Amino acid sequence: MWLEPDYSTFKVRAKGYNHRREKEATESPLFELVWFEIFSGKHEDLMHISQSKKSFVQKALAKYGSDVPQLFVMNIFIPGSPLVACVQYFALKKEVASNLRSHREGEALWKRFLEGDDTFRKSRLKLIPGIPEGPWMVKKSVGAKPVIISHGLEVTYFQTPNYLEAVVDVSSDCIAKHVTSLCRSHSTALRVDMGFVVEGIDDTELPEVLIGCVEYDHLDLTLATPII
């Protein structure tokens, strides 16, 4: 249903990208995928899913308290009836957490992203998509070109000391809504890979490193849990 794919298949901007336009396989992501769940409900009830008692975040905090590592939550709204939220939870790796004050480009850029305002975050959060398996029409519609998510979709952030949640509303763009409707109708026949990265622009921010990645493996959206 869901898994963490081989991260080396994701190509990111290499050092010197602005001069040579070269990309390379990412290093190990900053975060690891620890959980995934699907909820259904009204738009307002699916916003800021991390505060819901049904979410992995609240269950983990209730059980482990301060031992829970920093979490990055990608909450993606899939339009349709009912509205569905695909929520992936990423936990900061211990070795990365201990180096956040270092000058390693990927870690330093994540720190800026975490501490930055929403304008900065929206300008940098990038999706690297892929469809390893599925109908040709869906592969052609989705493509594999990296994209700054907020350039086409509404992105809302929620932050506490324990987590940063990004809510991506696919229904906010008519073209994306149409493409996603194709994916939704074929979801059980698809393998969808998604890598998330903070875009690096100049050489002080390169090479890029994935925040995390997820694969939807023949996902059945009818199994979504009602949020209320």
pTM: 0.94
Does residue 40 lie in a domain region? Answer: yes
Q: Is the predicted pLDDT of residue 181 greater than 90, yes or no?
A: no
Does residue 227 lie in a domain region? Answer: no
Render pLDDT for 129-173 as a digit per residue (tens, 0 to 9). Answer: 999 887 777 777 777 899 999 999 999 999 999 999 999 999 887
Does residue 48 lie in a domain region? Answer: yes
Report residue 211 as tokens. 């925040």
Residue 192 structural domain: 2-220
Kindly state the average pLDDT of the residues 24-29. Answer: 95
Does residue 182 lie in a domain region? Answer: yes
Predicted pLDDT at 102: 58
Does residue 120 lie in a domain region? Answer: yes
Does residue 191 lie in a domain region? Answer: yes
Residue predicted with more confidence, 89 or 143: 89
- Could you tell me what percent of the chain has a pLDDT over 70? 97
Does residue 28 lie in a domain region? Answer: yes
Predicted pLDDT at 171: 83
Dist CA 213 CA 88 (whole Å): 9
Q: How many domains does the chain have?
A: 1
Order the strands of the 31-40 sheet from edge to edge. Answer: 154-159, 163-169, 71-78, 84-92, 31-40, 225-226
Helix (H) or strand (E) holding 141: helix 136-142
Does residue 226 lie in a domain region? Answer: no
Q: Which of 11, 42, 40 is nearest to 27 (CA)?
A: 11
- Average predicted confidence (pLDDT) for the chain: 92
- Could you tell me what percent of the chain has a pLDDT over 90? 78
Predicted pLDDT at 226: 98
Rounded alpha-carbon distances, angstroms, from residue 96 to 37, 92, 173, 210: 25, 7, 35, 12
